Structure 1
C-alpha cells in the first residue's frame, strides 16, 4: 500500500467510520462504508459489525484501489475523488462520472462504459485540465445526489452528509 492510497483511505474514514444500519439507506448494514452484501461477495465471511479497520483497508485496497485501476491515475486528487465516489456510489457509477467529466472537457471523447481501462487511463492521465476535471467530478456527483433525492424523498435525510463529499 502506498501513501496515496493511505490518503484516500483516510478520506473514506472521515465519512464512513462506523457501523450503520439506517432504515432508508439502500446499502443496508454497513461498516467503514462496506455493505454486508459487498463484503460477503468479496469473501468476508464474518458479521459486518465485526469487520475491522484492517479488513476494510484490505478490501478497499485490493478490490477498489488496485482492481479498479485507481492506482494508475497519475493525478492524486482525481484518483482519491474517484475512489471516494466508488465507495459511496459504486465503482461503475464513479467511473462513468470520471468519463463523463473528461468528455465535457475534451473534443476527443471516450466511451462511457464504467471501466477504467487503457483508453480511460490514457485520457485522464493526459488531460490538460486536471483541476477542472476534478471540479466536474464533484459537480456530477452533486447532481446525482439531487436526482436520488428527487426520485425518493426518503433519501433526503442523507443529502447533507452526501454534499460534504462534493467539496474541493
Structure 2
C-alpha cells in the first residue's frame, strides 16, 4: 500500500476486534481479531478447526485485512480518513456493503465495486468531513436494523463513534472537533429530554384520547426507548469527539 496508511488504520481497528470469541448469537461463529472461521478457511484454502482460529497470529490477520478488505476497497486510493471509515465498515459488515454505502454518500453508481471511472473521482472531490460523517451515520442505521442489535448494538455504536472521531481528527482542526463534540452533546441532551418527557406522558392528550391504556403504554415505551438510544449514541459520539479534540495539536 503505497499511501502508507493501512497500518495506521489497522492499529485503530484491532482494539475493537479483540481476541478469540465464539458468541452463540454471532453469525460469524468462531472469530479472532475480526477474522471469522469461514474467512480463515477460504484464506488458507484447506479445512481448519476452531483451534486454528484461536491460534491465528496478528501478522496473518493483517495480511488477510490487506488482501481481502483493503485491496478490493481501493484503500490506497481513498483519501485519508475516508479510508479508515470505509475499511472498518468493510471489515465489520462486508466489503460490498461498505462500498455501496460509500457510493451512496457521494452519489456514485451503487454497484458495490469502487472504481476509477465513477466512485473514486467523486470521493476525491467530496468534502472528507462530510463523507466521514454521512458514511458513519449510514453504517449506524444499517447495524440498528439488524436483529442482533440488542445484543451487540452498544459495542457497535461505540466503535462507529470512535472511527468517526478518529477519521475526523485526521482531516479536521481542533476547533472543528470541539464544535462536532458540542453538537453531539447538544443532540444527546435534547434527545434525553424528549425521552423523559415522553415517558412522563409527553405523547400528547389529543393523540392519547380513546386509545386503550395497554396500547398507549407500549407506544410511550417505544417512543421513549428510541430517544434514549439516540441520546446514548450521541453521548458516545460526543465523548469520542471530545477525546479526539483533546489529543489534537
- What's the CA shift for 1:157? 1.4
Deviations 1:83-112 (A, max 9, x none): 000000010111111111112xxxxxx210
Compare 5-14 and 36-45 and name the one that shifted more. 36-45
For 1:140 and 1:112, how far apart are their aligned partners in 2? 14
Count of aligned pairs between the two proteins: 156
- What's the CA shift for 1:44? 5.9
In structure 1, the partner of 2:159 is 165
Which ranges in structure 2 are unaligned for 5 or more consecutive residues?
166-249
Deviations 1:45-88 (A, max 9, x none): 55111110000011111221123311111x21100110000000
Larger Rg: 2
Contact 1:86 1:94 survives alignment (8 Å): yes
Contact 2:106 2:123 survives alignment (8 Å): yes
The alignment yields a C-alpha RMSD, in angstroms, of: 1.5
Matched, 1:99 2:103: yes
For 1:166 and 1:44, how far apart are their aligned partners in 2? 32
In structure 2, the partner of 1:106 is none
Deviations 1:111-164 (A, max 9, x none): 10111111211111121x21011100010011011111xxx2x44110011001
* Higher RCO structure (Cα 8 Å, ≥6 apart): 1
In structure 2, the partner of 1:7 is 8
In structure 2, the partner of 1:59 is 64
SS of structure 1 residue aligned to 2:145 = helix
TM-score by length of 2: 0.59
Deviations 1:10-62 (A, max 9, x none): 11112002011001011111111011101111226551111100000111112
For 1:146 and 1:122, how far apart are their aligned partners in 2? 30
Structure 1: which 4+ aligned runs deviate by more than 3 Å? none
Contact 2:143 2:149 survives alignment (8 Å): no
Which ranges in structure 1 are unaligned for 5 or more consecutive residues?
104-109
5 Å-filtered alignment, 1:8-157, equals 8-43=9-44, 45=46, 46=48, 47-73=52-78, 75-103=79-107, 110-118=108-116, 119-127=118-126, 129-148=127-146, 152=147, 154-157=148-151
SS of structure 2 residue aligned to 1:42 = helix
